[in-house]
Amino acid sequence: TVLIISHDRHLLDRSVKKMFELEDGSISEYAGNYSFYFAERQQRLLKLQELYSLQQTEIKRLEVSMRQLKEWAKMNSKFAGRAENMAKRVAKARVEAVNRPILDRDKIKVDLDADRSGKKVLEIKGLSKTIAGRTLFEPFDFTLLYGERVGIVGVNGSGKTTLLRTMMDIIPATTGTVKIGASVVLGYYAQEQETLPFESTPLDFVRRLKKMTEPQAISFLHGLLFSYEDLHTPIRQLSGGEKSRLQMARLMLTEANFLLLDEPTNNLDIASTEVMEAALQEFEGTVLTVSHDRYFLDKIVSKIIAIGNDGRVQVYPGNFSYYFEKERSA
C-alpha cells in the first residue's frame, strides 16, 4: 500500500486508484485517479448545491408554518401543541441540512497583459556552458519567435536553470551569443525566489513596481489572496506559495511580453496552478519555461528544448507528451 501526498497531477493520474480530499475538516473519498476525482468532485458539488437549495426551501416553508401556528396559539391554546411540534420539525430540518457547498473557492487573480514585441524574440548561436570541466550543454542554435511557448526539460542537474539564466545574460556563456529582439520586455520567475527583496513588504514591493495608491496596491494584493496582515510582513517571512504569488505580481505589473519561468508551479497548490495555466493560455506574448510538471507542460508549451545527459541539446515540436513518446521510441 502506498499513500501519496502530492500536487503533481500527472503522478496522481498515473499512480493512484483512489483519491482522498481533505476540505474544511472533513475527508471525501473518490474511487479513481486525479482526473476522475476532478470530474466527480464537480458533479458532487452540483448535486450538493441542488440538495442544499431544496432543503433550504423546505426549512423556510416549515418556518412560515411555525410562525403562523405560534400566532394562532396566542389566540387559541389548542394550537400550542402543534406549534411546538412544528418548532421541533424546523430544528430537526436545520440539523439534518447539508452545509452550503462552495462551488468556487477564492482563487488568485492573474492577468498577464503586455504590448507586442518584435517578431524575433530570442536568437541563440553556438551557445554552450562548461562549469568546472563539465559541459552542461554543447553549442546549439535556436530562434524563438513572438507568441511561441517553449519548455526546457532534462534530468536534475542537467543545466536547465543555467541555460535559462545564460539566455538572460545573468550567467556568462562559455561560447556563443544571445540576442534579444526589438521591444522585448523580460519577465523572470526565479525558482529559488532570490530576485525578491526579502526585507521589503508585499505592499512596498508592488508600489515600487508600478505607481499606485495604497488602496490600489491593497486591492491588487487581495486579488492574489494576501491578507491585510501579510501586506506588512517582511517577504522573507512569507511562505513559498506567497513568494510565488509575488513573483506573479511582478510579471503582471511590469507588463513583460517575454516570460522566462523557472519551475513556476513548484510552490503553488493545484487551484493556483490552474489559474496560472489559464492566464498563460490567454497570454499573447512569448513563454520559455523550465518545468518538471508534465501536466503543466502539456497544457502550455508547443515546443520542447531537451538537454541530454551527454550535454546535447535537441528541439522537438509539440508538447511534453509528444517529446516523451519520441524519446521512448528512439
Q: Where are the domains of the chain?
A: 21-96, 120-329
Range list of H helices, the chain? 9-15, 34-75, 80-96, 160-167, 202-209, 214-222, 228-231, 240-253, 270-282, 294-300, 320-329
Q: Cα separation of 19 and 189, whole Å?
A: 32
pLDDT, position 100: 80
Task: Calculate mean pLDDT across residues 199-223.
Answer: 94
The H or E element spanning position 21 is strand 19-23
pTM (predicted TM-score): 0.76
Q: Which residues of 91-112 are buried (b: 16+ CB within 10 A; e: fewer)?
A: eebeeeeeeeeeeeeeebebeb
**Which amino acid appears at position 297 of this protein?**
L
At 104, is the pLDDT very low, low, confident or very high (cuts 50, 70, 90)?
low
288-297 pLDDT, tens digit each: 999 999 999 9
The residue to which cell 410562525 is assigned: 67
At 242, is the pLDDT very low, low, confident or very high (cuts 50, 70, 90)?
very high
260-282 pLDDT, tens digit each: 999 999 888 888 888 899 999 99
pLDDT, position 209: 93
What dotted CATH number matches 120-329? 3.40.50.300
- Quote the strand ranges of 111-252, DSSP E: 120-131, 134-145, 149-153, 175-180, 186-189
Query: Which SS3 state, helix, strand or coil, does residue 99 take?
Result: coil
39-63 pLDDT, tens digit each: 898 888 889 889 999 999 999 999 9
Q: Write the DSSP assignment of 268-281 as a string of letters.
A: --HHHHHHHHHHHH
The CA-to-CA distance between both ends of the chain, in Å, stands at 34
pLDDT, position 275: 87
pLDDT, position 189: 92
Q: What angle do CA 31, 33, 34 make, to 5 degrees?
A: 120
109-144 pLDDT, tens digit each: 888 888 999 999 999 999 999 999 999 999 999 999
